[in-house]
């Protein structure tokens, strides 16, 4: 399987993102090089919502950072639409775990900052503003566009971050535990909003989370990581529920509970 | 005094509370009571200040009158007379030995601002560079660590030898005094910038210019302002000592000159002026903090 995918690098229906036997490690005095996390070959198709789930500390966020080009890959390679990823790119929109909004700018200015720094496309001031407003509208934040990050709640801050990532119109959205720092109520609310958004926007998503329900609600496919050190993907699971999804229907589906307990068991190591 | 102010406030309390027993907004009476409390505090503070001030003058008077054998000790009365005299001749400019206090002050402020400005121009960009690059920083750090604890005055003879100009030397000494606080504070500030801000900037494919001016600099600004404040107050501390040595015009020179003339009341007046101006300098640079975004 590994050899086959390696040789068949240029097939007609190319996946958007290809992970080819990547690992990350650190130099170790005794053993020379110590691997901390790795994956086998993974192909991610256009429009797919894929979630990497795993116990904390297994290195799932590191994988996402490698895909983002923010961490170097020690072995193997990652490609985006056929080209290897070696540096961060605007084709990969990142939503960080904590909000990363520049505190001296309003919500709108933060989105504009992402748009105006585009080296490939120069836009007029009006264009920038109307685009920024459009994306803030997408996450229902038009009313708070002029507020500074400190004047926004945690959930609102995260929504600005999501709007900013969408504004880049990236090939792939990378979500690094995007709702991990929020309280339970806000989290649930944003999960539903995110579900609506990703079904509307038809993009490729790669998300990292440790929340089983979040993964099942949003994903088409879930990669389950084992425990570290040198954590690997232990399950590659399709999520069969049709879209558009509805939480209430989902929670009544026996299949949902079956998958949920399967995931929980594999995360706790049973 | 304080009972007089509390009395009317308390009577209105009772009526005010009766008028709005159930409203959620703060009733007028409560607001009035808070206001009365603030007035009371202010009166107490002022009263205490007056007491401390009179006590200070009293002790000063007793101490100096008792010690006043040779007429050297500056009594409060003599100092007050001297203060009026110095203010009267503040703008006097009559030959090199007869210069009003205003021109001494002006000379000191000019030196401090020049040396401080030069230090800021070099220390801020250098600090941004050293804060960003671990390798350059580690190569440079031994120099910073060894030179930083040296009293800026130790550079003074070297300055005289190299620059052969007392004015330039004074500015050079101030430069050396102001350099380190700004440099160290800026380096520290850069290191404390949320690393995710830089990840964000990278993921947006921003160029170095944008990264420095739109992300790094604004995020480091609070630390830079802190460094500037420390540097300016250090510079103001150092200038008096430096001017005692280099001479010319300046507060330090004035103080030393008056000591040589055994004119001690002038020294007390000068001390108060130096303190007051130092306070004003600190206040004005602290205004820069307003430019700093709240984070």
pLDDT digits (tens, 9 = 90+) for B37-86: 999 999 999 999 999 999 999 999 888 886 656 668 888 988 999 999 99
Contact A100 B199 (CB under 8 A): yes
* Cβ neighbours of B212 in A, within 8 Å: none
Q: Mean pLDDT across the stretch A201-226?
A: 92
pTM value is 0.80
The answer, yes or no, to whether residue B116 has pLDDT greater than 90, is yes
The answer, yes or no, to whether residue A153 has pLDDT greater than 90, is yes
pLDDT of residue A5: 41
Q: Mean pLDDT across the stretch A163-173?
A: 94
pLDDT bin (cut points 50, 70, 90) of residue B174 is very high
Task: Quick: pLDDT tens for A35-58.
Answer: 888 888 899 999 999 999 988 888
Closest to B218 (Cβ–Cβ): which among A92, A104, A114? A104
Contact B203 A92 (CB under 8 A): yes
Task: Quick: pLDDT tens for B249-287.
Answer: 999 999 999 999 989 999 999 999 999 999 999 999 988
CA within 13 Å, CB half, B52: 6
Domain boundaries, chain A: 16-91+172-179+202-270, 97-169
> Rounded to an integer, what distance in angstroms lies between the CA atom of residue B77 and that of residue B86?
14
> Rounded to an integer, what distance in angstroms lies between the CA atom of residue B116 and that of residue A220?
61
Contact B200 A96 (CB under 8 A): yes
Please tell me the distance in Å from A175's CA to the nearest CA on chain B. Answer: 13
pLDDT of residue A25: 87
What does the mean pLDDT of chain A come to?
88
Q: Mean pLDDT across the stretch A96-108?
A: 91
Q: Mean pLDDT across the stretch A228-256?
A: 89
Contact B204 A114 (CB under 8 A): yes
The fraction of chain B above a pLDDT of 70, given in percent, is 88
Q: Mean pLDDT across the stretch B224-242?
A: 95
C-alpha distances out from residue B100 to A229, A264, B249, B260, Å:
77, 84, 10, 17
For residue A148, what are the contacts with CB-CB under 8 A and spacing of at least 6? A103, A104, A105, A106, A107, B293, B294
Give the pairing of strands A32-38 and A49-53: unpaired
Please tell me the distance in Å from A138's CA to the nearest CA on chain B. Answer: 21
SS (H, E, C) chain B: CHHHHHHHHHHHHHHHHHHCCCCCCCCHHHHHHHHHHHHHHHHHHHHHHHHHHHHHHHHHHHHHHHHCCCCCCCCHHHHHHHHHHHHHCCCCECCCCCECHHHHHHHHHHHHHHHHHHHHHHHHHHHHHHHHCHHHHHHHHHHHHHHCCCCHHHHHHHHHHHHCCHHHHHHHHHHHHHHHHHHHHHHHHHHHCCHHHHHHHHHCCCCHHHHHHHHHHHHHHHHHHHHHHHHHHHHHHHHHHHHHHHCCCCHHHHHHHHHHCCCHHHHHHHHHHHHHHHHHHHHHHHHHHHHCCCC
pLDDT bin (cut points 50, 70, 90) of residue A270 is low
C-alpha distances out from residue A142 to A178, B5, B56, B273, Å:
21, 50, 61, 55
pLDDT of residue A105: 93
Contact B206 A168 (CB under 8 A): no
* Cβ neighbours of B203 in A, within 8 Å: 68-70, 88-90, 92-94
The answer, yes or no, to whether residue B14 has pLDDT greater than 60, is no
pLDDT of residue A249: 87
pLDDT of residue B134: 93
Please tell me the distance in Å from B295's CA to the nearest CA on chain A. Answer: 5
Q: Mean pLDDT across the stretch B230-240?
A: 96
What does the mean pLDDT of chain B come to?
87
pLDDT of residue B72: 80
Contact B215 A100 (CB under 8 A): no
pLDDT of residue B184: 96
Closest to A100 (Cβ–Cβ): which among B196, B206, B295? B196
Instruction: State ipTM.
Output: 0.87
Chain B residue at shortest CA distance from A174: B203
pLDDT of residue B7: 41
The answer, yes or no, to whether residue B11 has pLDDT greater than 50, is no
Q: Mean pLDDT across the stretch A197-224?
A: 92
Please classify residue A27 by burial: count the beta carbons closer than 10 Å to its beta carbon, then call 0-12 exposed, 13-18 middle and 19+ buried.
exposed
CA within 13 Å, CB half, A22: 25
Least confident among A36-40, A135-139, B100-104: A36-40
The answer, yes or no, to whether residue B22 has pLDDT greater than 60, is no
> Rounded to an integer, what distance in angstroms lies between the CA atom of residue B199 and that of residue B188?
19
* Cβ neighbours of A93 in B, within 8 Å: 203
Q: CB-based contact (8 Å) between A161 and chain B?
A: no
Task: Quick: pLDDT tens for A228-237.
Answer: 788 888 899 9
How many residue pairs from chains A and B have C-beta atoms closer than 8 A? Answer: 58
pLDDT of residue B25: 64
Contact A94 B202 (CB under 8 A): no
Closest to B207 (Cβ–Cβ): which among A98, A113, A119? A119
Please tell me the distance in Å from B109's CA to the nearest CA on chain A. Answer: 33
Fold topology of A16-91+172-179+202-270: Rossmann fold (3.40.50)
Q: CA nearest A161: which of B41, B203, B43?
A: B203
Residues facing residue A176 across a β-bridge: A208
> Rounded to an integer, what distance in angstroms lies between the CA atom of residue A161 and that of residue B64?
69
Contact B196 A102 (CB under 8 A): no
Max alpha carbon distance in chain B (Å)? 81
Instruction: Pinpoint the alpha helices (H) of chain A.
Output: 2-7, 60-68, 107-116, 125-138, 154-167, 184-201, 212-218, 247-252, 254-268
The answer, yes or no, to whether residue B204 has pLDDT greater than 80, is yes
For residue B202, what are the contacts with CB-CB under 8 A and spacing of at least 6? A69, A70, A87, A88
């Amino acid at each position: 399987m590994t050899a086959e995918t390696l040789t068949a690098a240029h097939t007609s229906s190319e996946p958007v993102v290809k992970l080819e036997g990547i690992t990350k490690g650190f130099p170790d005095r005794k053993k020379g090089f110590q691997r901390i996390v790795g994956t086998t070959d993974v192909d991610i198709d256009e429009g797919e919502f894929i979630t990497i789930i795993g116990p904390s500390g297994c290195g799932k966020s590191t994988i996402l950072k490698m895909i983002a080009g923010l961490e170097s890959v020690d072995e193997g390679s990652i490609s985006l639409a056929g080209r290897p990823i070696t540096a961060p790119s605007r084709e990969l929109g990142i939503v960080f775990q904590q909000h990363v909004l520049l505190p001296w700018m309003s919500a709108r200015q933060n989105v504009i900052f992402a748009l105006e720094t585009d080296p490939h496309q120069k836009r007029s001031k009006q264009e920038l503003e109307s685009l920024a407003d459009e994306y803030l509208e997408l996450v229902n934040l038009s009313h708070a566009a002029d507020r500074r990050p400190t004047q926004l709640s945690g959930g609102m801050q995260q929504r600005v971050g999501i709007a900013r990532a969408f504004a880049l119109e990236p090939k792939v959205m990378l979500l690094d535990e995007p709702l991990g720092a929020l309280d339970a109520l806000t989290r649930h609310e944003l999960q539903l909003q995110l579900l609506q958004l990703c079904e509307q926007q038809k993009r490729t998503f790669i998300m990292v989370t440790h929340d089983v329900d979040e993964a099942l609600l949003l994903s088409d496919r879930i990669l389950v990581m084992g425990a570290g050190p040198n954590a690997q993907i232990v399950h590659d699971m399709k999520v069969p529920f049709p879209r558009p999804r509805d939480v209430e229907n989902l929670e009544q589906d026996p299949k949902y509970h079956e998958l949920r307990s399967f995931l929980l068991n594999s995360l706790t190591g049973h | 005094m304080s009972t007089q102010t509390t009395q009317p406030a308390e009577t209105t309390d009772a009526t005010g509370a009766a008028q709005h027993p159930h409203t959620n907004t703060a009733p007028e009476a409560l607001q009035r009571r808070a206001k009365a409390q603030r007035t009371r505090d202010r009166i107490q503070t002022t009263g205490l200040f007056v007491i401390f001030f009179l006590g200070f003058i009293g002790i000063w008077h007793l101490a100096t009158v008792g010690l006043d054998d040779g007429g050297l000790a500056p009594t409060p009365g003599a100092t007050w007379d001297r203060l009026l005299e110095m203010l009267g001749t503040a703008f006097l400019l009559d030959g090199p030995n007869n210069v009003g206090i205003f021109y001494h002050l002006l000379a000191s402020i000019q030196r401090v601002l020049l040396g401080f400005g030069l230090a800021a121009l070099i220390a801020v960009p250098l600090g941004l560079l050293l804060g960003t690059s671990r390798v350059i920083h580690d190569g440079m750090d031994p120099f910073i660590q060894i030179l930083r604890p040296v009293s800026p005055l130790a550079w003074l003879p070297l300055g005289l030898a190299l620059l052969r100009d007392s004015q330039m030397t004074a500015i050079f000494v101030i430069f050396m005094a102001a350099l380190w606080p700004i440099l160290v504070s800026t380096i520290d500030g850069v290191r404390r910038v949320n690393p995710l801000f830089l990840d964000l900037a990278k993921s947006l494919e921003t160029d170095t210019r944008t990264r420095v001016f739109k992300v790094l600099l604004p995020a480091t600004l609070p630390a830079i302002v802190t460094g500037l404040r420390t540097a300016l107050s250090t510079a103001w501390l150092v200038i008096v000592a430096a001017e005692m040595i280099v001479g010319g015009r300046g507060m330090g020179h004035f103080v030393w000159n008056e000591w040589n003339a055994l004119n001690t009341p002038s020294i007390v007046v000068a001390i108060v002026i130096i303190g007051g101006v130092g306070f004003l300098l600190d206040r004005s640079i602290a205004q820069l903090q307003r430019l700093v975004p709240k984070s």
